[in-house]
Structure 1
Amino acid sequence: MTAVVAAAGIEKRFGATRALAGADLAIERGEIVALMGANGAGKSTLVKILSGSLAPDAGTITLDGRPVAFAAPREAKRAGIATVHQATEQAGAAGLTVAENLLLDELCAPGGRLFTSPGAIRRRAAAIAATIGLDLPLDRDFADLRPAERQLIAIARAVAAKAAVLILDEPTSSLAAGEAERLFAILGRLREAGIAILYISHRLGDLAAIADRAVVLRGGVAVGEFRRPIDFRAAVAAMIGRPFEAPARADATLRRPVVLSARDVVLVPGARPFHLTLRLGEVVAITGALGSGKSRLLSTLYGLARPVSGTVALDGRSWAPGRPSEAIAGGVFMVAEDRRRSSLLPPEIPGATIAGTIAFPHLGRWFPLGVLRPARERRAAVEAIARLGIKARGPDDTLDQLSGGNQQKVVLARWQAEPSRLLLLDEPFQGVDVGARADLITAIRGSGTTTLIATSDAEEALEVADRILVMRDHTLFETEAEDAALIAAVGEVERAEGAASA
């Protein structure tokens, strides 16, 4: 069959960085192709080129066998390539209704005035919504919609525009399991209608549930292709360039003292009890879908929530903090998922600098008499800038002057500025580029602190952890097994989750 869309020999450089080095990709009608690859492999660059956001340095793109070149996303969309981005707030216009957002493309096109009466808009919008089974109230404001609902509006618009190719960038990153299943059902219908779909996701459960084929990028080129059922062990080997084996480094921690022990813990009513043991200096990652309970567990250990039942001990003593201040006093620190809301001071507040941000939770300990000494704060900041490779002019830079990756380095440095018994990290690599992620992983693994990480990205867990656990329905599952790749175990649990919620 002739591919609906094909990219051949695509090359792209950004200065000295070669993002794509001759990448090839082809998708046929009625096919869902997953694009896999580690951060920095070139996935985002290839998607931007296909969607018209970037021009390639070399190579060709064809639609139904005809060469095409796009100077802007609107040209790609007009040609039949529609992209639904991860940031769902860009999928429509706040202040307009669902009906008006469904008709945005038509209202803005020549002849859009034909739909200016409220009745005409509602009738046309209802017809568009029906194409994918969208049942939202047509008079709701786009700003009031959940991410999943915004995403479906963008997909409905693409179908209405008769898109031949639909590109989905991390479509389930902010969806609950039930919402993801609804999305998969809609994509299945679009596949039956002959639409070619490119699906970018780190989530193995997504790929197992929906993809007909997976293409793996590494170093800017396609290095592997896997047809359904996808062999995750082989796919990960292609991603990292070597056979994947469970980390041997976990064995070294088994003889160390236990720092935290949780027995028969039930996080929420109806969940199954689980055990958890963390040893000195061990880095343990918990992965699982959104809403699986990862953040709830960290919040419980940090005093933001209480378990239904079970016991937790820190260094052999009962551990049940009633609030974060008690957790901090006991040596348990936490970096929350949303660094802007939980960790960054507004730039207009005095002290909202690198030095002030790092020092903030330690002021009582560092300055017990209440007299601040800027030199003490600056020393800690200078040390952190050097140790984590924070790109800044100096400790007096404000956080709004830094990239997301460097902001996250400052947040980690804050909690590494004082010794702790347990460090909790909730999605620590979210919104962080590949270089900053490597620096963060080095800092986490080099600290010697017992660390528990919650991440929805199995690839991140593999990179940073001595041991990986999977959480589903607020219950932990060990993934280690003889001769079984951790990545395959993660995929199995995610597949089980998808089957359970279907």
Structure 2
Amino acid sequence: MSAPQASIALSVTGIEKSFGPTRALAGADLTVAAGEIVALMGANGAGKSTLVKIISGSYWPDAGTMTLGGKAVSFASPREAKAAGIATVHQATDQAGAAGLTVAENLTLDELCGTGPLFVSGRSIRRRARAIAGLIDLDLPMDRDFLDLRPAERQLVAIARAVAAKASVLILDEPTSSLSTAEAERLFALLKRLRAQGMAILYISHRLGDLAAIADRAVVLRGGRIVGAFPRPIDFPAAVAAMIGRPLEAAAHGGEPSTAPIIAALRNVQLIPGAVRFDLDLRSGEVVAITGTLGSGKSRLLRVLFGLDTPHAGTVTLDGKPWHSDGPGRSIAKGVFMVAEDRWQSSLLPPETPGASIAGTIALPHLPRWFPAGIIDATRERLVATDAIRRLGIKARNADATLDQLSGGNQQKVVLARWQAEPCRLLLLDEPFQGVDVGAREDLIAAIRGSQGGSATVIATSDTEEALEVADRILVMRDHTLISADGSEGSLAAAIGGAASASPRKLEP
């Protein structure tokens, strides 16, 4: 369903954008009408962020056209886009305003940086700020520092600025990812008011519950193109199938529930105060994917399993014994390995650092075990690395290559090879396919599934398609608790999006 031509506020046609050999957008078309909320859906890497950055002036398209209010436009900067009437509220709410300035100063920032008066007083700023806040019934202390605000309050400040600037198009990127239910409902009420006033709203979210509550229409982006459009009431199983390119299933590798020995068990665990408690068993030879939106608690669960964090309540056991760790060294000694989300910060060394080669990177956490006398045998390191290069298909000249010479996918293969170089009980992978192309992802999945043996693997991923490709069992994390779906398309889709049909329960296989 599309809007009548006369009411279209924003239209993009045939938008293309490439970054080197990577084609992010391949002829994307999108319209948003005045007084309409359009949900933009798509898996990670589908091109959503690139499209938004082109609309909002951060990127210049390689091809295609854009109209605003029926007039052809092109923007060389976000400032130009904003001046034309396009306001974007990003997921990182600390970017929604200026740190170190008060709420009043942030509300009036556009006017102060534009054609406002040369001399202003604190009193006049506060008076004007209260008027802007009144446009959306925003009630905040005007003298509070912007960074002292909660994420929901920062978003509202940004939206108030957009309304004051008479923006015709508002773009929201994952606006409820860090909001409570009450804060999200307040946001929805405001967006409905803005829609009634004629504002066009492009709403980006993985949370299907949000879209069911707020969207008039959903469009699905995959592979840089719009591949589906769904009018209200939105058929979410069909929309998710369009998003991932096939019907949604419980798991690509799922079969009979595992009866293998339990490696790790969580009982009555509460990750943070106020979260619903849950149980979880992780069994030998099993790959479990934990999926959910940003801020849902996936990474915290992995940190608890690794021993870096302590749950607020409940118990964790490893091989039947109470499990806690005083640091990564003890965890590694016990066969609990973790690949964190940011491989450069957590797993890789700068190229000028001694031991920054493939061989040195793989060997680094195992040095005390391999060389207890403290004398490093470079030949052994190279032999292990050479075997990993062959087994995982790492594209590198040899084991002495540094990681900066490799693509993102090959870097990630090296990181995985590090933890496959020693016997493992529990392997924890946080967003292991991030920044990895399809071919490298297939190699990584084959390596993960081919090396299970007696270990259990837990993968945290925000991409449902990745979870379907790799896992024996998929669980959904929402609000720092685990949700179990019954395996049907509708149930898993509801759990991912936060619809009421999915509820917490004990999560043994």
| Aligned equivalent of 2:109 | 104
Which residue of the other structure, out of 25, 28, 32, is the alignment partner of 1:23? 28
Task: Provide the TM-score with structure 2 as the length reference.
Answer: 0.82
1:10 aligns with 15
Please tell me whether residue 186 in structure 1 is matched to residue 190 in structure 2: yes
Q: CA deviation at 1:463?
A: 3.9
Q: Is the 8 A contact 1:337 1:427 kept in 2?
A: yes
The one of 470, 481, 485 aligned to 1:464: 470
Q: Which residue of 1 aligns with 2:459?
A: 453
Aligned counterparts of 1:424 and 1:70: Cα–Cα separation in 2: 43
Deviation at 1:215, TM superposition (A): 0.1
CA distance in 2, matches of 1:148, 1:389: 45
Partner of 2:162: 158
Q: Any gaps of 5 or more consecutive residues in structure 1? A: none
1:8 partner amino acid? T
Is residue 177–residue 290 contact of structure 1 (8 Å, CA) maintained in 2?
no
Determine which of 284, 287, 292 is the counterpart of 1:283: 287
Matched, 1:245 2:245: no
- Identity, in percent, stands at 70
Q: 2:53 aligns with which of 34, 48, 55?
A: 48
Decide whether aligned partners of structure 1 residues 154 and 493 sit closer, same or farther in structure 2, where only a CA change above 3 A counts: closer
**In 2, are the aligned partners of 1:232 and 1:487 still within 8 Å (CA)?**
no
Whether 1:234 and 2:241 are equivalent positions in the alignment is no
Q: Which of 321, 324, 330 lines up with 2:324 in the alignment?
A: 321
Give the equivalent residue in structure 2 for 1:125: 129
TM-score (norm 1): 0.83
Residue 127 of structure 1, CA deviation: 2.2
How big is the shift at 1:408? 5.1
CA contact (8 A) 2:483 2:495 kept: no
Gaps of 5+ in 2: 504-509
Distance 1:467 1:426 in 2: 16
User: Residue 65 of structure 1 aligns with which residue?
Assistant: 70
CA–CA separation in structure 1 for the residues paired with 2:110 and 2:136: 17
Aligned residue among 465, 478, 483 for 2:484: 478
Q: Given residue 222 of structure 2, which amino acid in structure 1 is its aligned partner?
A: R
Q: Does 111-120 or 303-312 show the bigger shift?
A: 303-312
Cα deviation, residue 7, structure 1: 1.8
Distance 2:150 2:345 in 1: 20
CA contact (8 A) 1:462 1:468 kept: yes
Deviation at 1:365, TM superposition (A): 0.8
Query: Aligned in 2, Cα 1:289/1:177: closer, same or farther, shift over 3 Å?
Result: farther
Contact 1:12 1:21 in 2 (8 A): yes
Contact 2:495 2:502 in 1 (8 A): no
Partner secondary structure for residue 67 of structure 2: strand
Counterparts in 2 of 1:177 and 1:206: CA distance versus 1, 3 Å: same
Count of paired positions:
494
String of CA shifts for 1:132-170, please: whole Å, max 9, x gaps.
344444334445555544443332222221110011233
User: Does the 8 Å CA contact 1:176/1:290 hold for their aligned counterparts?
Assistant: no
Alignment of 1:340-379 (within 5 A): 342-343=346-347, 350-351=354-355, 355-379=359-383
CA–CA distance in structure 1, aligned partners of residues 265 and 421 of structure 2 = 25
Alignment check: 8 A CA contact 1:202 1:457 kept = no
**Cα 1:265/1:156, change in 2 over 3 Å:** closer
Letter of the 2:475 counterpart: L
SS in 2 for 1:78: helix
Question: Do the aligned partners of 1:259 and 1:279 also contact (CA within 8 Å) in 2?
Answer: yes
Sort the Cα spacing of 1:408 and 1:65 in 2 relative to 1 into closer, same or farther, 3 A. Answer: same
Per-residue displacement from partner, 1:216-248 (whole Å, max 9, x unpaired)?
Answer: 122332221112332221012212333333335
1:415 has 2:419 as partner: yes
Shift of 1:423: 0.9
> What is the distance in 1 between the residues matched to 2:357 and 2:401?
5
